[in-house]
Amino acid sequence: MSDFIDTLASVNDVVNDFVWTKVGVWLLIAVGLLMTVLTKCFQVSHLPHWFKKTIGNMFEKKVRSHTGEKASISQFQALCTALAATVGVGNIAGVAGAIVTGGPGAVFWMWVAAFLGMMTNYSENVLGIYYRRKNRAGEWSGGAMYYLQDGLGGKKGFKHIGRILAIIFAICAVLASFGIGNMGQVNKIVINFTSAFDIPALSEVVVFGEGDSAVTLYSIIIGAVLLILVGIVVIGGIKRIANVAEKIIPFMVIMYVLGALIVICVNITSVGKAFGAIFSMAFSSQAVWGGATGVALKQIITMGCKRGVFSNEAGLGSSVMVHSNSNVVEPVKQGLWGIFEVFADTIVICTMTALTILTSGVIDLETGVHTASSDATLVAESFNSVFTFGDFKLGQYFIAIAILLFAFTTVLGWSHYGTKAMEYLAGSKASVATTIYKVLFVIMVMFGATLTSSIAWDISDTFNGMMMLPNLIGVVALSPLVMKLTKNYVDRRIKKLDVPPMLSHFPDIQEMNARIIRETGEE
C-alpha cells in the first residue's frame, strides 16, 4: 500500500508541477494582463467608481438587505461568502510559506498576480451573471461550467468542446472541494488549535496509529465538533452559508488587520527595510536566502504568483459560483465586487501578514533564517513579538483562532462550489445528487481531522489547478463579450448615455432584468 501511495504522490507531483508551475502561473498572468488591456485597465481607470460601488455602498440597504427571493442572496452576502472561501489558511500560512521559500521578493509578485487577477475575477463574475439561469428549484445557477457550455459552446464548431471543458471543470471542482476546500482546511485547524490550546489529558491519548501517524482523542473531538457545525450550516444551503459568512468574515478580517497593524506600528522603524527587501529581492536571485542552494528568480516569481492565486482564487472560476447567487441584475456590478474581493484578500490581508512577518524580526531579511517550526508558527511568533505578557503568549492563540475561523468559513464556501458543480453534472437528478454530495462533504471533515498523510490534499491541489485551465480558456474565448458588457455599462452608468442594457444571454431573463432597472433604477 505504501508503494502505491508513493507512486501516486510521484505522479501527482509531476502533474501538479506541469499544471501550476509550467503552465498555470504564466497563463494566469497572461490572461490577467489580457483582460486588463482589453478593459483599458479598468481596475485603475475606474478605481473611484468601483470603490464607491462596493465598499462605498457597503451600508446601503440595496447592497446589504436580504432578499426574499428563493436561494438568492444580497450583494454583500455574496462577497462575504466568496471571501469566506478565499480568505483562509493561504492568507496566513500561505504568505509565510511564500516568504520562507521565495524570499520577501515573492510578496511583490503576489501583488502583481492580484493586480492582474482583479480583472480576471471581474471577467469571471461578469460572465457568471450574464450566463446564469434558474434551476428546477427556482434557484440561480451560474459558474464557469455554464459560460463554457453556452458561451464557448455557442460559437460555431465549439459546441462539444465547450461542453467537455464544462464537465472537466465541474468534476475537478467537486474533487477539489473535498481536499483543498475541506480536508486541507480542517487539518490546519486541528493542528494549530491542538498545538495552541494543548490539553494533555486529550492529546496524549492515542486512538489509533503510532509515531507521526498517531491520531489522538483531541483530534477526533475537534473533528467531531467541526463535523456537527459544518453539517448544520451546509445542509441549510446557500442562504444559511451566507448568513454565517456575513457575520464571521467582516469581524475576523477587521480583527486580524487591526492585530497586524498593531504589530507593524510597534515595529514601524522596520517598515522601510521590509519594503526595501520586497522590491530589491523581487528581481534578483537571492544567493544566500534559504541556505546554500539559494533562490532563483523564476522560483521567486512562481512562488509569489502561485501563493497569490491560492489566496484570492482569481482565475480558478470558483467564486463566480457564489457571486452568481447575488440578487444583482447588472453583470458588471457584480464584476466590481470581484475586483474588490481580490483587493481585500491579497492587497490588504496578505500584505498585512507579510509586513507583520518582515517587520517583527522573526526572520532575518538578509539570510532568511528563522526559528519557526512551520509557516503558521512563523506568523504566530510575529504576533507573539508584541502580544506577549510575561509567560502568556497571546499571539499564538490569536492566530490559532484566526485560522479556525478563516478555515471554517473556507470549508463552508467550498461546500457551495462543490454543490453547484455537482448540480451541473447531475442534471435532472440534481436534487438527489447534491444531497448525497453534502452528506459526503460533511463526512470528509472527520477525515481531514484524522488523516496524517498530505496526499489527499496534494492531489486536490492538482485538481484545483485543473479547474483553472478550462476556466481561463473560457474567459479568453469570451473576452470580446466582456469588453462589450464593460463598454455598455460604462456608457450607461458612467457616461450616462441612453443605450439599451446588456444583462443576460437569455431573452426572458434579459427582459425581466431590464424591467427591474426601468421600474426601480436598480443596478
> Can you give the pLDDT at residue 58?
63
What percent of the chain clears pLDDT 70, i.e. is strictly above it?
A: 85
> Can you give the pLDDT at residue 491?
93
Span 97-151, pLDDT tens digits: 888 877 888 888 889 888 999 999 999 999 999 999 888 777 788 889 999 999 9
> Best-predicted range by mean pLDDT among 143-152, 338-347, 443-452, 511-520?
143-152
- Its pTM stands at 0.87
Tally of CB atoms within 10 A around 67: 16
Distance (Å, whole) CA 23 – CA 16: 10
Span 92-108, pLDDT tens digits: 777 888 888 778 888 88
Distance (Å, whole) CA 144 – CA 149: 8
CA-based nearest residue to 320, from 105, 145, 509: 145
> Can you give the pLDDT at residue 185?
83
Alpha-carbon distances of 278 from 113, 261, 342, 383, rounded to whole Å = 15, 18, 20, 20
Span 438-471, pLDDT tens digits: 999 999 999 888 876 666 667 767 877 888 889 9
> Can you give the pLDDT at residue 159?
92
Name which of 29-38, 47-56, 294-303, 429-438 the model is least confident about.
294-303
Distance (Å, whole) CA 251 – CA 263: 19
- The interaxial angle of helices 351-360 and 105-131, nearest 10 deg, is 170
The yes-or-no verdict on residue 334 having pLDDT over 70 is yes
> Can you give the pLDDT at residue 292?
40
- Which three cell numbers, joined as nine digits, stand for 457? 490534499
Cβ–Cβ under 8 Å, residues 81 and 416 = yes
Q: Which residues, in sequence order, are CB contacts of 180 under 8 Å at separation 6+?
A: 414, 457, 460, 461, 463, 464
Query: Mean pLDDT for the chain?
Result: 83
Q: Which of the pair, 225 or 378, is modelled with greater confidence? A: 225
Check the CA dihedral 5-7-10-15 and report its sign.
negative
The yes-or-no verdict on residue 314 having pLDDT over 60 is yes
The yes-or-no verdict on residue 33 having pLDDT over 90 is yes
Distance (Å, whole) CA 469 – CA 27: 8
Distance (Å, whole) CA 124 – CA 481: 11
pLDDT band at 319 (very low <50, low <70, confident <90, very high): confident
The yes-or-no verdict on residue 262 having pLDDT over 90 is yes
Span 369-410, pLDDT tens digits: 776 666 667 888 899 888 888 778 888 888 888 888 888 888
pLDDT band at 241 (very low <50, low <70, confident <90, very high): confident
